Structure 1
Amino acid sequence: MTEHSKNDHRILVLADGDNVAVIKATILAGECIRLRGHDVVVPQTLGLGHKLAVENIPAGRDIVKYGFPIGFAATDIPLGTHVHVHNLSSRYTQVEVME
């Protein structure tokens, strides 16, 4: 069994070593899907193009998509969780806080 066959058919891992996958079709909140051989309940509805953690990603670890870091985990990101601006930070841009 290949690494990719251990995943639900609606997700796509773009490169070996990626810790996120791209969603190819809507996954509804509460659905149980297969990620790297594990059954995982997805907590929220996610649509085409969104990213999903295919492993537990601790805070501070690089988020890797297509073999390259696209940012880092701002918080711990559990397996099967949506990865987006609420839990992913860029190492390349600074957010200026206005007081």
Structure 2
Amino acid sequence: MADRFHQTCFQIEAADNVCTALSDLEPGWVKVTGGPAYPAIAIAAPIKNGHKLANRPIGAGEAIIKYGIAIGEATRLIGAGEWVHLHNCRSRYDARSSTLDPETGAPTDTRYK
């Protein structure tokens, strides 16, 4: 049987609630490799190579789990298949992380003259 998935992401640990895009992803179905709880995820918006996506819904305040450990916290509900980045999560160790620009990582709370 031919594989119907042309896009792939990788889940590192079984406990992870995010996986990593293995190429630039376009809206549609994505195959999850690496021992996932869910073998495929539907995404609605493009996600860049190397970025994280939720492999299931992640509630506001819930830990973002990658490598089997908490790497951050959701700042709002993150839907399954949604890009997980600075616009919807923050560090539990750095209060300033939620003010960074999602595209550049530059601080948005500092003005330079």
1:3-54 CA-partner distances (Å, limit 9, x unpaired): xxxx9861100111000001101211x32335614552x1221121100000
Between the two structures, name the one with larger relative contact order (CA 8 Å, sep ≥ 6): 1
* Residue aligned with 2:23, SS: coil
| CA RMSD after TM alignment | 2.4
Q: Distance in 1 between matches of 2:86 and 2:39?
A: 27
1:40-90 CA-partner distances (Å, limit 9, x unpaired): 2x1221121100000110001000001110110000001000000000111
Please tell me whether the aligned partners of residues 41 and 81 of structure 2 are also in contact (alpha carbons under 8 angstroms): no
TM-score w.r.t. the length of structure 2 is: 0.69
Q: Distance in 2 between matches of 1:8 and 1:53?
A: 19
Q: Is there any run of 5+ residues in structure 1 with no aligned partner, and where?
A: 1-6
The amino acid that maps onto 2:48 is G
Matched positions, count: 90
Q: 2:104 aligns to what? A: none
Q: 1:62 aligns to what? A: 63
Change (3 A) 1:45 1:53: same
Q: Percent identity?
A: 30
1:31 corresponds, among 15, 24, 28, to 28
Q: Distance in 2 between matches of 1:77 and 1:17?
A: 17
Q: Distance in 1 between matches of 2:6 and 2:15?
A: 18
Q: List 4+ stretches of structure 1 deviating above 4 A.
A: none
Q: 1:18 aligns to what? A: 16
